[in-house]
Structure 1
Amino acid sequence: MAAASGASGLAAGYSGAQLATFVWVGQGMLAVVLLWGWTELADRIRTGEVASDLLRPIHPVTNYLAADLGRAAYALGTRFLPPVLVGPIFFDVYLPTRWFTGPLFALSLALAVVICFGCRYLVNLTAFWLHDIRGPMMFWALSSGVLAGLYFPLRFLPEWAYLPLWLATPFPSLLQTPLDVLVERDAAGTQLGLVAVQLVWAGLILAACRLAQRRAERRLVVQGG
């Protein structure tokens, strides 16, 4: 990223310090948002243990979301802070200048956790139909890494490519949006608009989770019972 900014000190509207912050905070966010590695629900569907989840008074989506929020809160202290604290030792990083950027980033990060949970939940729910979710998991791992801004900021793409991606898919809301909010890549109004898009996606994804859960409960018999 430092090489990308080059002699001009800018790359796709980011300064070298903003890109350094993008990288180090992005690495810290990985464990908080948790793009990959969660198959608990799919495993329980495959073994039939999910039947006990359906007997509980709490809706499965609410139950698993609460657990995921607790995991994310723990990861903030154990996995998020180390790279955030180490990065400034070796690189010049960008410090926000707007008073509301900190709280807005915290809200954006929380929404990213909710959206990512919902996407992973939907991937896991495919086990009701497929039993083996390795295919959907591989597709999710590839698409989420590339389209969320993990490997490079999406602003490096042409505007005609990243704008539809931002509005038509939830992927940029996972990493790109919180990081752009933090480094103040855009004007204040655009910052708020990006978080508003996240809020819409969070509602849509959670609604999709509940709908898919209801269809699975009514139409299918889980393996083992």
Structure 2
Amino acid sequence: MRVYLTAARLSFRRYITYRSATIAGLITNTCFGFIRAYILLAMWHEKPHIGGYDAADAVTYVFLTQGLTTPIGIFFGSTELGLRIRTGEVATDLYRPCDFQLWFLALDVGRAVAGLVLRTAPPVVIGTLFFPTRLPAAPLPWLEFALSCTLGLLINFAIRYLVSLSAFWTLDERGSAALLLVVSMFFSGMIIPVAVMPGWLGALARTLPWSATLQVPIDVLLGTGTAGFLNALAFQLLWAAALIALGRAVTTAARRKTVVQGG
């Protein structure tokens, strides 16, 4: 366990170093939050209640997604593993005396904590100053939200890890990662809440793992989900277990397939 904690700590230090990039990211996240908030307010002006949300819920949703984008990793199509496979450095990783999948999960947790510290609170706080929002005052929803976000991160990592592993066969995962980015942004609820998607599209989106990365945690916090916290938790745990297990199986297959470019 100590080696994974050390990996997470060093990853955190690496991602927290670039302060100019952090400030630029904060400004960008907040500006896009304003743009998305005004778009959704226009929608809710025409129809005051959509998918169980009112205007305040919709605006709160916008700024929470802006704050969670970096920690959860919605804009990342793969993990550090993809690059290391392309460069051949993965050969070193395979010889480390630790679990291969847990090593990259530890690195991703360090990245996520750095994003949480630097980029989560400011967009949410600024949003509450300029727009009507609804955040719970009781501590329990926040604790449930924290647990749900942790599972959301685990699910998102597991998906990106699988995409990264594809480089063992394709030698370059960037095409798959670009496709995943588009799918992830749409079905996670980053563009519009999954709750407002109509008909079969909404039903499909709610069953896919991407909804468990953003939509489910925010519904847990706002109390807008129809299933309740325990059902939401079960949904996330099911996808997390399935994707992590699949990742371990593909890792085993990849070890037998490993080809290091250039030799």
TM tier, smaller:
over 0.9
Letter in 1 for 2:228: T
Per-residue CA shift, 1:185-222, capped at 9, x if unaligned? 135x5232112101111111111111111101013333
- Alignment partner for residue 181 of structure 2, among 121, 128, 141? 141
In the alignment, which residue of structure 1 is the partner of 2:261? 223
Cα displacement (A) at 1:25:
0.8
In the alignment, which residue of structure 2 is the partner of 1:123? 163
Q: Is the 8 A contact 1:4 1:11 kept in 2?
A: no
Cα displacement (A) at 1:159:
4.3
Letter in 2 for 1:185: T
TM-score (norm 1): 0.92
Cα displacement (A) at 1:55:
0.8
Cα displacement (A) at 1:158:
2.2
Q: Could you tell me how far apart the structure 2 residues matched to 1:203 and 1:2 are? A: 37
Q: Could you tell me how far apart the structure 1 residues matched to 2:57 and 2:193 are? A: 11
Q: Is the 8 A contact 2:168 2:257 kept in 1?
A: no
Letter in 2 for 1:102: W
Q: Is the 8 A contact 2:79 2:157 kept in 1?
A: no
1:12-91 equivalences in 2 (<5 Å): 12-37=51-76, 38-91=78-131
| Secondary structure of the corresponding residue to residue 30 of structure 1 | helix
Q: Could you tell me how far apart the structure 1 residues matched to 2:182 and 2:94 are? A: 31
Q: Is the 8 A contact 2:194 2:206 kept in 1?
A: no
Q: Which runs of 4+ in 1 moved over 6 A?
A: none
Q: Could you tell me how far apart the structure 2 residues matched to 1:74 and 1:97 are? A: 25
Q: How many residues align?
A: 223
Cα displacement (A) at 1:184:
1.1
In the alignment, which residue of structure 1 is the partner of 2:201? 161
In the alignment, which residue of structure 1 is the partner of 2:225? 186
In the alignment, which residue of structure 2 is the partner of 1:198? 236
Letter in 2 for 1:220: T
- Alignment partner for residue 177 of structure 1, among 216, 220, 226? 216
Q: Could you tell me how far apart the structure 1 residues matched to 2:204 and 2:48 are? A: 28
Structural RMSD (CA): 1.7
Q: Which runs of 5+ in 2 are unaligned?
A: 1-39
In the alignment, which residue of structure 1 is the partner of 2:13? none
Q: Is the 8 A contact 1:96 1:184 kept in 2?
A: no
Q: Is the 8 A contact 2:216 2:225 kept in 1?
A: no
In the alignment, which residue of structure 2 is the partner of 1:132? 172
Letter in 2 for 1:24: F
Q: Could you tell me how far apart the structure 1 residues matched to 2:261 and 2:205 are? A: 37
Q: Which deviates more from structure 2 when the two are superposed, residues 169-178 or residues 5-14? A: 5-14
TM-score (norm 2): 0.79
Q: Could you tell me how far apart the structure 2 residues matched to 1:58 and 1:88 are? A: 44
Q: Could you tell me how far apart the structure 1 residues matched to 2:198 and 2:153 are? A: 27
Q: Which deviates more from structure 2 when the two are superposed, residues 24-33 or residues 4-13? A: 4-13
In the alignment, which residue of structure 2 is the partner of 1:96? 136
Q: Indicate the structure whose relative CO is greater, using CA pairs within 8 Å and at least 6 residues apart.
A: 1
Q: Could you tell me how far apart the structure 2 residues matched to 1:59 and 1:222 are? A: 20
| Secondary structure of the corresponding residue to residue 192 of structure 2 | coil
Q: Which runs of 5+ in 1 are unaligned?
A: none
In the alignment, which residue of structure 2 is the partner of 1:214? 252
In the alignment, which residue of structure 1 is the partner of 2:12? none
| Secondary structure of the corresponding residue to residue 164 of structure 1 | helix
Per-residue CA shift, 1:100-156, capped at 9, x if unaligned? 211110001011111111111111111111112222012101110111100001111
Q: Could you tell me how far apart the structure 1 residues matched to 2:82 and 2:117 are? A: 28
